[in-house]
Amino acid sequence: MNRVRRRTFLGLTAVAAFPLTAACTSDPDTDPTQTPEPTPTDSTSPTTDENPLRTQVGQEEGSLIARYEATIAAHPNLSASLAPLAEQHRAHLTAVIGSSAAPSPQPPPAMIPSDSTVALAEIIAAERSAADARTTACGMATSVELARLLALIAASEASHAEALSTPAASSEGVAP
Amino acid sequence: MTDSEPLTTLSAIIAAIEGEEAAVYAYGVAAPRLSGDQSDLARGALAAHRLRIIVLRESLPPADQPAAPGGFLVDPPPDAAAAAALLATVEARLAATYADLAAASSGDQRLDAVRSARESAVRSVAWGAPPEAFPGRGA
């Protein structure tokens, strides 16, 4: 019982000790009570039986990146919103398939809508689909590392859809 | 989950309960600084977090229930911006905690944990945090 009580105290204190005004980009490694050892990039040694799953997710991330790049090329006015998120998908890709593995080149999506509002809506829809696909993939993962990674990516992609759906937040409320 | 203990389903559930109880408290101290749409967002989130606590506690036998929270050291945020920043931080951390629970569980419990991680990451962004590649883990 003491163990549980102590752990509870640590957990709550850890939240309390987090600087109130800190952005989420603060380094969580400074707080060992809330940030366990594994990091998303520690999964570059995939077990063989998970390779097909990693390859599949890697291809899907590659397709998303291609869509982002084509949309940015067609609509430079969206670049400020989209480029940072495309970079996060590149981080997802590296975490899933490892930095040494070269992703197979992805053909860009067939058509990027000429209306930037429609193009943005398609990106948002693609992020939601990706979050659902990552959720399903997480359910199929056999290692702890890949399951955690896919859960984090699912959460990230869901948050991308949210960020792109609230332009007011991205222009005013979001700290750099 | 503390650094010295292996990841187990029980420890991951307890960590999620603790994170949810801290979130409920954070929403309480933030509430006086919020108004309008932010109040509505906070009320909806608070209800969701309370429900998660019940669901998580129901998944544990009585002997494994974590103790009631003993206290919180969060200073009341001085204004709406600080309140939103507090909630954005708490939600992002909770997203990472649920990713740990997803890793430590299987089947429906894992899928439910992923859904919770997604919801918290979305709320963190709704409170003004920039999206992260690995929510709650640093960019």
Using CB atoms, pick whichever of B118, B130, B134 lies closest to residue A158.
Answer: B118
Report yes or no on A4 lying in a domain: no
What is the amino acid identity at position B118? R
**Number of domains, chain A:** 1
CATH classification at residue B26: 1.20.1260.10
**Domain boundaries, position A64:** 51-173
B35 in Cβ contact with B80 (< 8 Å): yes
Per DSSP, the three-state class of A169 is helix
pTM of the model: 0.82
Complex ipTM: 0.93
**Domain boundaries, position B27:** 9-126
CATH classification at residue A57: 1.20.1260.10
Q: Please give, rounded to a whole number of angstroms, the shortest distance from the CA of A150 to a CA of chain B.
A: 8
Report yes or no on A31 lying in a domain: no
Q: Which residues of chain B does A147 touch, with a Cβ-Cβ cutoff of 8 Å?
A: 102-103, 110
- Residue A44 touches chain B, beta carbons under 8 Å: no
Report yes or no on A100 lying in a domain: yes
Here the tokens at position A42 are 């520690």
Report yes or no on A57 lying in a domain: yes
pLDDT digits (tens, 9 = 90+) for A38-95: 444 444 454 578 899 999 999 999 999 999 999 999 999 999 999 999 999 999 999 9
**Number of domains, chain B:** 1
pLDDT digits (tens, 9 = 90+) for B30-85: 999 999 999 999 999 999 999 999 999 999 999 999 988 777 888 899 999 999 99
Report yes or no on B90 lying in a domain: yes
